[in-house]
Amino acid sequence: MESADPPEAVPLSGLAVLEAALPNLPLSPGVYRMLDAKGDVLYVGKARAIRKRVTSYTQVARLPERLRRMVHETRRVEVITTASEAEALLLEANLIKKLRPRYNIVLRDDKSYPWLVVTDDHPFPQIAKHRGERRKGASYYGPFASVWAVNQTITALQRVFLLRTCRDTVFDTRDRPCLLHQIKRCSAPCVERISAQDYGALVAEAKEFLAGEVPSIQKRLAAEMEEAAERLEFERAAALRDRIRGLTHVQGTSRINLDGVGDADVVALHMAAGQSCVQVFFFRGGRNNGNRPYFLTHSKSDITPEEVLGSFLGQLYDDLPPPPLVLLSHEVPDAALIAEALSIKAQAARGGRKVELHRPQRGEKRDIVNHAETNAREALERRLAESTAQGQLLEGVQRLFDLPERPERIEVYDNSHMMGTNAYGAMIVGGPSGFMKSAYRKFSIKEAKPADGSAPRGGDDFAMMREVLERRFGRALKEDPARTEEGWPDLVIIDGGQGQLSAASAVMAELGLEDIPLVAIAKGVDRDAGREWFHMAGREAFQLPPRDPVLYYLQRLRDEAHRFVIGTHRAGRAKSLTRSELDDVPGVGPKVKRELLNHFGSARGVRQASEADLGNCPGVGPALARRIYEHFHLGAGQAT
């Protein structure tokens, strides 16, 4: 990476910065980044020739207002050269998604896509949902738009192909068929109701189904049913009949499908009121794997639908293998370049199939695109309606708590513990667009002390809240002492009463943040929802009418914080229950730990074993056996 800083020490205007940087910029393909005075990335762009592309930004009069503001704020230019413009496009999409620059069109979606996996490395493969990295010895099908879509496909595979969904640990310990076999959803390979060869044939048919070969499977099943009936094998014929019915049911209940198209995505855009929604329908093997809406962040003016859709495509396929065909609602700029870049990704993922971008004008494909556009429009209309209602609620919060402006970021804090153990704090965030789940934070409370400096007491909620707020706002002040960045709350809500409010106010005063409004919400004497008391500094505690919409909204915020912290506490408690003293032994990971427990029966057995016995455990060599033995015995001797 090269940096093209101007030589002058005196701060220059944005235009002067670009003009001074031009002689040092290369003429090769690559990506450029515009940075502001604090080093934050304002804009990321790609170019066939970086110097020529950046030169265009010096023609300020020809730029739209959005880019004029970007040029004005620019204080440094950084570039990364690439081998081709297509590689630059891929890198640009990656950086935009990672850095989220203010003046780019940004896809704010951090959800991974669910896939369907078939575990080929087992004699009786399992079908299951999967997220995350892929591993060897398995076949993956997808992506799916949602877990619901994966579950629908798994149900179809169970009904038609009778494949197992149980984990290997359950499979290995079964001694009789489970309920799924009774309701004809599994062939019960766990108790040898089917041979490995016949089960393998079912797996092969299931893979054909996932590849879109439904008609051939149906013909083959029909022929086998007739043959079984002729041989008077009526039980087998009835089983085949049920499978055919299941396959017919799957085809009949499928939502919109694309005949004659194997793998394709339909990408449709709708813009309104300065906002954009893109609906993506995923088709694999001709079958609809569901759809997902994406809401994009961009300037409210001088952005065309074509620009939005072109920028979206690169970010969509940044972590997703593109299909051979992408159907679009609009023509996009540099369509050939985008197709070339996506083909590079497809080659890395699937072995070299070209990607085609196509905007259909008529026929079934055009109908599918129109359907996706309708979904995009309706999703955006719902979002705009919700935003309007949300804005009215926030204005009500502003009036209720006498805030100077409508709050754009409300942070709510809660704690959870069990007799002082497994203590966690949590922060949830709400705003004009609803719950901002990407901003949620968890705090593992370890050193909470009362304000008077005495020793920690189990279950001291005040000390726990003090630690959470100190860590949250102490770090925020360290990273942004001038408080000029986004991420500072307009209102902080604490779950608790006057005592919690006093503890929180003391922390904020110590940090010099008394200007951030604080509110504590406490349930009434009978702890009934709807009878909450609100506590604020310098104001008498008060209640709201039971059916007040603002009360409902504040209850939702409080309940969401409670839900989040309870989930965090339960996960931490479950983790602590599965922890053993073997976790503290250097060099003993999960695999070795499992071998030790299987070999000796318990952690106590490992602790009492001799060095020689430890060395006889599978996966434990002489050096590790000595380390484990010394950890328990030398450590115990030193302790005594």
List C-alpha distances in Å: 420 to 423, 449, 459, 612: 6, 12, 4, 42
**In which residue are the tokens 């004699």 written?**
123
HSE-up of residue 418 (Cα within 13 Å, Cβ side): 10
User: Are the C-beta atoms of residues 468 and 443 closer than 8 Å to each other?
Assistant: yes
**Mean pLDDT lowest among 89-98, 136-145, 178-187, 248-257:** 248-257
158-206 pLDDT, tens per residue?
888 889 999 888 888 888 888 998 888 899 999 989 999 989 988 888 8
Query: Could you write out the DSSP letters of every residue in 218-284?
Result: HHHHHHHHHHHHHTT-HHHHHHHHHHHHHHHHHHHH--S--TT-SSEEEEEEEEETTEEEEEEEEEE
87-104 pLDDT, tens per residue?
999 899 889 888 889 888
In this structure, the answer to whether residues 269 and 341 fall within a common structural domain is yes
pLDDT band with cut points at 50, 70 and 90 for residue 267: very high
In 3D space, the residue among 506, 511, 504 whose CA is nearest the CA of residue 475 turns out to be 511
459 CB burial (10 A radius; 0-12, 13-18, 19+): middle
Provide the pLDDT for residue 633.
77
In this structure, the answer to whether residues 588 and 571 fall within a common structural domain is no
In 3D space, the residue among 92, 78, 74 whose CA is nearest the CA of residue 36 turns out to be 74
Within-domain flag for 386: no
ω before 143 within 30° of 0 (cis)?
yes
In this structure, the answer to whether residues 485 and 345 fall within a common structural domain is no
Q: Which two tokens stand for residue 545?
A: 């009418």
- Please say if the pLDDT value at position 253 is more than 60: no
User: Are the C-beta atoms of residues 320 and 143 closer than 8 Å to each other?
Assistant: yes
- Give the mean pLDDT of the chain: 83
User: For 110-124, what is the mean pLDDT?
Assistant: 85
337-378 pLDDT, tens per residue?
999 998 888 887 666 578 999 999 988 889 889 999 999 998
d(CA 553, CA 491): 14
Within-domain flag for 401: no
User: Are the C-beta atoms of residues 241 and 225 closer than 8 Å to each other?
Assistant: yes
CB atoms within 10 A of CB 255: 12
Asked which of 575, 590, 612 is the last residue of a domain, the reply is 575
Within-domain flag for 125: yes
d(CA 637, CA 627): 15
In 3D space, the residue among 515, 559, 85, 127 whose CA is nearest the CA of residue 333 turns out to be 85
Within-domain flag for 404: no
Q: Which two tokens stand for residue 365?
A: 């494909």
- Please say if the pLDDT value at position 623 is more than 50: yes
pLDDT band with cut points at 50, 70 and 90 for residue 456: very low
For 477-515, letters b (16+ CB in 10 Å) and e give eeeeeeeeeeebbbbbbbbbeeebbbbbbebbeebebee
User: Are the C-beta atoms of residues 558 and 493 closer than 8 Å to each other?
Assistant: yes
Provide the pLDDT for residue 147.
85
d(CA 503, CA 450): 10
Provide the pLDDT for residue 530.
60
Provide the pLDDT for residue 489.
95
In this structure, the answer to whether residues 169 and 230 fall within a common structural domain is yes
C-alpha of 545 from chain center: 38
Provide the pLDDT for residue 578.
53
- Please say if the pLDDT value at position 628 is more than 60: yes
- The dihedrals phi and psi of 372, each to the nearest 5 degrees, come to -65, -40
Provide the pLDDT for residue 318.
84
**Mean pLDDT lowest among 33-47, 253-267, 275-289, 536-550:** 253-267
In this structure, the answer to whether residues 559 and 587 fall within a common structural domain is no
566-605 pLDDT, tens per residue?
887 777 666 655 556 777 788 787 788 778 877 777 777 8
Those residues with Cβ within 8 angstroms of residue 470's Cβ, 6 or more apart along the chain or in another chain: 507, 511
In this structure, the answer to whether residues 360 and 488 fall within a common structural domain is no
pLDDT band with cut points at 50, 70 and 90 for residue 434: confident
- Please say if the pLDDT value at position 636 is more than 50: no
Sign of CA dihedral 498, 499, 500, 504: positive
d(CA 567, CA 65): 46
d(CA 252, CA 81): 52
Those residues with Cβ within 8 angstroms of residue 186's Cβ, 6 or more apart along the chain or in another chain: 158, 162, 163, 164, 165, 177, 178, 180
Provide the pLDDT for residue 640.
31
In this structure, the answer to whether residues 563 and 593 fall within a common structural domain is no
User: For 126-136, what is the mean pLDDT?
Assistant: 85
pLDDT band with cut points at 50, 70 and 90 for residue 1: low
In this structure, the answer to whether residues 270 and 244 fall within a common structural domain is no
DSSP state of 511: T
Sign of CA dihedral 308, 109, 480, 403: positive
pLDDT band with cut points at 50, 70 and 90 for residue 250: low
Q: Which two tokens stand for residue 75?
A: 């204080």
In this structure, the answer to whether residues 287 and 427 fall within a common structural domain is no
Cα Rg, the chain, nearest whole Å:
31
Q: Which residues pair with 297 in a beta bridge?
A: 106
Q: What is the CATH number of the domain that holds 344?
A: 3.30.420
In this structure, the answer to whether residues 458 and 566 fall within a common structural domain is yes
What is the number of structural domains in the chain? 5
Q: What is the CATH number of the domain that holds 610?
A: 1.10.150.20
d(CA 217, CA 239): 15
User: Are the C-beta atoms of residues 106 and 275 closer than 8 Å to each other?
Assistant: no
Within-domain flag for 395: no
DSSP 3-state assignment of 5? coil
Within-domain flag for 394: no
In this structure, the answer to whether residues 153 and 226 fall within a common structural domain is yes
Within-domain flag for 16: yes
In this structure, the answer to whether residues 540 and 587 fall within a common structural domain is no
Domain that holds residue 326: 264-381
d(CA 580, CA 333): 58
Provide the pLDDT for residue 519.
94
Asked which of 70, 104, 138 is the last residue of a domain, the reply is 104
Q: What is the CATH number of the domain that holds 525?
A: 3.30.420.340
Q: What is the CATH number of the domain that holds 73?
A: 3.40.1440.10
**In which residue are the tokens 């093997």 written?**
285
C-alpha of 133 from chain center: 13
Asked which of 232, 253, 274 is the last residue of a domain, the reply is 253
Within-domain flag for 146: yes
Provide the pLDDT for residue 610.
87
User: For 296-323, what is the mean pLDDT?
Assistant: 82
Provide the pLDDT for residue 638.
40
